[in-house]
Chain A
Amino acid sequence: MMEYFAQALWIYMYAVLVAIVAVAIYGVVARPNIVKKIIALTILADTANTFMIFIGYRLGSTAPPVLTTLSPSRADIAGFVASAVDPVPQCLVITAIVINMAVTALLVFLAIQAYWLHRTLVAGLVSKLRG
């Protein structure tokens, strides 16, 4: 019973993530305003990161991947391996977040430039004006 409940909850979470991806892609593709495109892009990136963290979880794990002692016994290490979540996705996400932020900043700078050169933030108009 509990397993079915967990599975249903998991499917629900995936559905929510896919829905957010849909909204974000809609924002990037269909919104004309560059700032709204950038906001949608950050939402898309954060959803991807959440997705990765989800994949790293396993049922029954109770601890983050940090060993709590500096002189572990063999039993400590075995217990650590038995209880910790998967550290690989976390490792990928750490760098992804910072680089997303840097890329977003670069896009914001480009948007500012475009605004001061063309006096508009509507993507279609910016491409027509040919600065």
Chain B
Amino acid sequence: MRPWMAAATKACALVLLIALCVAILLGATAHTPSLELRPLAEFYLENCLNPYDKAKWAASPEAVTAMLWDYRGLDTVFETTVFFLAIIGSVALFRFAEVSLASYESKLRERREEGLSIIVRVVTRIVFVLIVALSAAIALHGHLTPGGGFQAGSIFAVAPLLAIAAFSRRFVEGLGLTKNSCLAIRTTGLLFIALVALIPLALALAGVGAFIIQNQSKPWTPEFPGYPAQLGPVWLAGSLILFNVAEFLTVGSGFTLLFLLLALPEDFFRRLVKR
């Protein structure tokens, strides 16, 4: 980088920072902390679980999940697409690793008992199960309590990361979380999201009144019954639980995949690059 370019980038950063300060001083954030709720937020809070006005409700007591997968569900689908592309990009950078890794690994099979000390390994075994159980609970309760697919997936991904650190990458792959199975789980989750989102659209194309990512029945689409809000005593919140579980699979396996690739051994890379 030439000196004048470095100076220019630093000047740009300074200008950006000063602009931010001036914007805040001039009130770009409006009155914070505000005393009243903004009208948009009021709409969501009022209608997310409003049995007296079912034209606008999302059948979920959790306003954030209701917005995320119902009111602005399309937005979230596109955000999932960004996530998909970032992971596909990472996998594409490592696309040659697969075949050469197999030959590399076969030479190292004799090594036994890897990982950190026995204390760490025993504790990790216990915590691993707890993390997985917690993430599943957060995914399945995402439409009732704070949480949802994104959070549960991120929490789940901590478990394989911990296992990679305490044991080894091969331990995680022994559990069935190999690169290919992670890709398969992730694709299944994405397909499921697409399916749930597109069923109402397919109905609309068939002549029934419905719209894409429709959750509950609306007065102007009386033919589409909506996804079931309740199944006996179990509250399902329509399509929200389906989206949450699918997003959990997508995010959890996507991050697991990234951690597996990041844990590839260093001298393996050295050989890969030398060829």
Interfacial residues, chain A to chain B (CB-CB below 8 A):
6, 10, 14, 18, 21-22, 25-26, 28-30, 54-60, 64-72, 74, 77, 80-81, 84, 86-88, 90-91, 94-95, 97-99, 101-103, 105-106, 108-110, 112-113, 116-117, 123-124, 127
Contact = CB atoms under 8 A, between A and B. Distances in A.
A123 B35 CA distance: 47
A118 to B, nearest CB: 10
A18 B21 contact: yes
A42 to B, nearest CB: 14
A116 B272 CA distance: 9
Given A87-B64, A98-B83, A99-B86, A64 B146 contact: yes
B176 interface: no
Instruction: Select the residue from A18, A54, A68, A102 with max chain B CB neighbours within 10 A.
Output: A102
Given A10-B32, A81-B46, A29 B13 contact: yes
A88 B48 contact: no
Interface of B: 1, 9-10, 12-13, 16-17, 20-21, 24, 29-30, 32-38, 40-42, 44-46, 48-52, 61-64, 67-68, 72, 76, 79, 82-83, 86-87, 89-90, 93-94, 144-146, 148, 150-151, 153-154, 235, 251, 254-255, 258, 261-262, 269-270, 272-273
B45 to A, nearest CB: 5
B41 A86 contact: yes
Contacts of B33: 6, 10, 54, 57-59
Contact of A58 (B10, B37, B50, B83): B37
A64 B20 CA distance: 29
A18 B17 CA distance: 8
B67 A25 contact: no
Contact of B51 (A54, A71, A95): A71
Specify the main secondary structure of chain B where it touches its partner: helix
A59 B121 CA distance: 47
Nearest to B79: A95
Contacts of B10: 29-30
Nearest to A117: B273
A108 B262 contact: yes
Contacts of A95: 68, 76, 79, 150
18 contacts: A25-B13, A29-B10, A30-B10, A54-B29, A55-B29, A57-B32, A59-B35, A65-B45, A67-B49, A70-B235, A74-B52, A87-B67, A91-B64, A91-B67, A98-B150, A102-B83, A102-B87, A109-B93
Contacts of A54: 29, 32-33
Given A86-B37, A98-B150, A105-B86, A26 B72 contact: no
B261 A109 contact: yes
A88 B41 contact: yes
Contact of A105 (B45, B235, B258): B258
Contact of A112 (B30, B46, B269): B269
A87 B16 CA distance: 28
Contacts of A14: 24, 29
Contacts of B273: 116-117
A34 B86 CA distance: 19
A91 B93 contact: no
A66 B63 contact: yes
B237 to A, nearest CB: 10
A21 B38 contact: no
A98 B154 contact: yes
Given A77-B46, A109-B94, A109-B261, A88 B13 contact: no
Contacts of B21: 18
Contacts of B24: 14, 18
Contact of A22 (B17, B151, B270): B17
